[in-house]
Structure 1
Amino acid sequence: MAAPAEPGTSSEFHIPPRPDGWTVDEVLALSEKQASRQRIEVVDGALLVSPAPTSVHQRLLQKLQLALVPALPDGNELLPGVNVRFGTQRLLVPDLVILNCPGVDTVAYLASDVVLAAEIVSPSSKVQDRMLKRAIYAEALIPYYLLVEPLDPTAATLFALESGEYEPIAKSENGELHFTRPFEAVLRL
């Protein structure tokens, strides 16, 4: 959660506290200056603030995009780092999403627009990516969740929503993830 700056100190990150918590609309209304160089999400009124991704994270994200985009079926679009809205109290920014509404221009997509949400685990986001976001995506009925762990070698697991829970349907082996749902693709991690 964001903390206010100490009086008399300069701070690049200062968002005033909200005693009643934050809403999605309030977070989306933050100025560019307030929101620059970090990722701001909101869950049930609490802000989740993460630093900008590292170069290792971004290179892995680029590999995912380059592998997934050519495999996308018609009627789908891949976008990295967009806002996804889960009602009025939750806003998350997955590392990438595959959407079922290509070409739509918006500041925040609805969870129902998301076919697959992907998260690359970072040191600052381990708990959120592995547990919190996974639970929120499942509750919102997002059909697929891709979790990528930048280990040596990089590991990835694709989950499918079955009976309200994510079940693993593909796991990487030797740095590659092969899957056939929601479409066929090979990710070389």
Structure 2
Amino acid sequence: MSAATDIGAFARALPPHPFGLEEWDALPEGLPAKVELLEGVLMVRSRPSARHQRVAVLVMNALAAVLPPEWCAVPKLDVLIEGGPTPTVRAPDVVVIRTATADHRTRQDPADVLLAVEVQSPGSRRTDRVAKLAEYAEVGIAHYLLVEPGPPVVLTELLLDDGAYRVRAEHRGRAELALGATIDLDALDR
């Protein structure tokens, strides 16, 4: 069965009403696409490219190398933005979460998220720069990194300040982040 057929079969099996968290939790692992939940509506995107994933791993590894033991960097964990009958669940490319929650939950409460990273893909620019920016700020995620995978790779570092994000820096080449991580953004192009 092809990936297109799998997605078609998956789409036909969806309920005719908004998803609740129970239905979200019941989704099978290893879906042939990236999925998020926006006000109870399943949002499906194609799988990220190899470059997209390499950029995410580069950022994740740089963060992991400098975090204190109470924090850890992990890929693609769900973050509950809003509960209720029509929930919103986002899946950033990388998150920095409290280590104490890492082994106990696959869906993180935003209070346990220090940083979210979104690597932009074709079709995700507006979502990452507008919708997710507002959502992550609203739930109090202190650091937000937006990465354009290039070439060249450009990393925009945003810090939460009085309920809204402000740009700390737009990095090219070598990024020295507020959390202490240094990332060689040109490493992907060498």
Q: Indicate the TM-score class for this superposition, using the shorter chain for normalisation.
A: 0.7 to 0.9
Q: Verify the 8 A CA contact 1:145 1:158 in the aligned structure 2.
A: yes
Q: Verify the 8 A CA contact 1:157 1:171 in the aligned structure 2.
A: yes
1:160 paired residue number: 159
Candidates 78, 84, 91, aligned match of 1:83: 78
1:92 paired residue number: 90
Q: Which amino acid aligns with 1:29?
A: A
| 2:45 is aligned with 1:45 | no
SS of aligned partner of 2:5: coil
TM-score by length of 1: 0.85
1:8-60 CA distance string (max 9 Å, x none): xx82112334443122331221123xx61211111112211111111111111
1:98-130 CA distance string (max 9 Å, x none): 012344321211111100000000003222111
Supply the distance in 2 between the matched residues of 1:23 and 1:133 (Cα, whole angstroms). Answer: 20
Candidates 23, 27, 40, aligned match of 1:26: 23
Query: Which piece of structure 1 moves more, 56-65 or 19-28?
Result: 19-28
Q: Which amino acid aligns with 1:69?
A: A
Supply the distance in 1 between the matched residues of 2:154 and 2:99 (Cα, whole angstroms). Answer: 29
Q: How many angstroms does 1:69 deviate by?
A: 1.1
Query: Which piece of structure 1 moves more, 99-108 or 10-19?
Result: 10-19
Q: Which amino acid aligns with 1:21?
A: P
Q: How many residues align?
A: 175
Supply the distance in 2 between the matched residues of 1:125 and 1:159 (Cα, whole angstroms). Answer: 18
Structure with greater helix share of residues: 2
Q: How many angstroms does 1:165 deviate by?
A: 0.8
Q: Verify the 8 A CA contact 1:178 1:185 in the aligned structure 2.
A: yes
Q: Which amino acid aligns with 1:93?
A: A
Query: Which piece of structure 1 moves more, 50-59 or 21-30?
Result: 21-30
1:11 paired residue number: 5
TM-score by length of 2: 0.85
2:112 paired residue number: 113
Q: How many angstroms does 1:87 deviate by?
A: 3.1
Gaps of at least 5 residues in structure 1 are 1-9
Q: Which amino acid aligns with 2:175?
A: L
Query: Which piece of structure 1 moves more, 147-156 or 104-113?
Result: 104-113
Q: Which amino acid aligns with 1:187?
A: I
Supply the distance in 2 between the matched residues of 1:21 and 1:145 (Cα, whole angstroms). Answer: 28
SS of aligned partner of 1:12: helix
Gaps of at least 5 residues in structure 2 are 186-190
| 2:130 is aligned with 1:131 | yes
1:184 paired residue number: 180
Query: Which piece of structure 1 moves more, 115-124 or 128-137?
Result: 128-137
